[in-house]
Amino acid sequence: MAKKNVSVWTSIPFWRRSAAWVTGFAVVLLIWLSFDTLGQISMGTDEDLKSGVTKRVPGPTVINYNIDYKFSKKRGSEVPIIGDKEPFFGKEWSVEDAAALLHLGKLTSQAKNCMNCHTLLGNGAYYAPDLTKAWLDPTWEAMGYFGQKTKEEGIAHFLQHPAENAIHTRRMPNLAITPEEAKGLVAFLKHMSSIDTNGFPRNFSKTVEQFKQGGTNAR
Amino acid sequence: MFFEPFTDVVPSFFGWLNQGPLTLTIFLHTIIVLPMFWIYFQEKKKLEEA
């Protein structure tokens, strides 16, 4: 018996089943990806830092450590390197105090709407410099920490008096940031710079000259 | 090399699939498109027998 000449492409059940399959698969995939992300973005603990366990987002006590940015040939991007301990505002912060300071910094960054001009971890604007790795910016050192002894004091000083210490034609306005809030913001920035962002923002550690030569500022 | 050794910080299935150029894309398209051949031939058979 000769087979009937049929058109599958014009059959509605074929398209209905294909659409159901693709949609169903995408739903399962997105739910899976959401749970997969949780492991990537969950914060590490103080024990992780002490035992050298690498987490994408280290715990708040990372502010007690030196943070460097190095180019990893294996990863093909710059990665934050958590080094030896160093005092932060002259002391070592406990787990609770570091978490509280970081929380204050986060709330302040939201209250003062940093994202209105800056970018944090890919969110925000590009009117002002990207803050994702701001702690590692060599500009702080180049500016002599604005007459302060340490980098954290220098950044805190700048945050309280940005208009007077403008280093850019797009001046940051004075936002009435208190000394305590400034400390929190510096802790927030230091913690953010320790987050492994797969090298984002791209070429942060390069100057224009280094970029032309293919080199990098990251040691 | 098409397949690179795993270099991501936190191990994950998707991270592992995403190590080479287009590997995640090719994998996902393959497992989405292959069952559609099966759907096509099943529907064809149904229409022929109807």
Contact A8 B12 (CB under 8 A): no
Structure ipTM: 0.80
Tokens of A127: 């009117």
Q: What is the pLDDT of residue A61?
A: 96
Contact B39 A54 (CB under 8 A): no
Q: What is the pLDDT of residue A45?
A: 92
Q: Give A25 to chain B, closest Cα distance, Å.
A: 8
- Maximum distance among all Cα pairs of chain B, rounded to whole angstroms: 56
- Inside any domain, residue A79: yes
For β-strands A123-124 and A65-72, DSSP reports them as: unpaired
**Best B4, B9, B44, B48 residue to mutate vs chain A (most A CBs within 10 Å):** B9
Residue B9 has pLDDT above 80, yes or no: no
In a shared domain, residues A76 and A180: yes
Tokens of A180: 């305590």
- Inside any domain, residue A7: no
- Inside any domain, residue A173: yes
Q: What is the pLDDT of residues A125-164, one digit of tens each?
A: 999 999 999 999 888 888 899 999 999 999 999 999 999 9
Tokens of A196: 């492994």
For range A87-102, the mean pLDDT:
96
Q: How confident is the model at residue A124 (pLDDT cuts 50, 70, 90)?
A: very high
User: CA A69, A129, A85: angle at the middle one, nearest 5?
Assistant: 30
Structural domain harbouring A34: 12-39
In a shared domain, residues A89 and A119: yes
The count of domains in chain A is 2
Structural domain harbouring B20: 15-49
Answer whether A141 touches B (CB < 8 Å): no
Q: What is the pLDDT of residue A167?
A: 81
In a shared domain, residues A34 and A83: no
Q: How far is CA A31 from CA A20, A35, B26, in A?
A: 17, 7, 20
In a shared domain, residues A100 and A27: no
Q: What is the pLDDT of residue A5?
A: 86
The count of domains in chain B is 1
Contacts of A4 in chain B (CB under 8 A): 47-48
Which residues from B are below 8 Å from A when comparing CB atoms?
5, 7, 9-10, 12-14, 28, 31-32, 35-36, 39-40, 43-44, 46-48
Q: How confident is the model at residue A13 (pLDDT cuts 50, 70, 90)?
A: very high
Quick check: pTM over 0.90? Answer: no
In a shared domain, residues A156 and A176: yes
3-state SS, A153-215, equals HHHHHHHHCCCCCCCCCCCCCCCCCCHHHHHHHHHHHHHHHCCCCCCCCCCCCCCHHHHHHCC
Q: How confident is the model at residue B44 (pLDDT cuts 50, 70, 90)?
A: very high
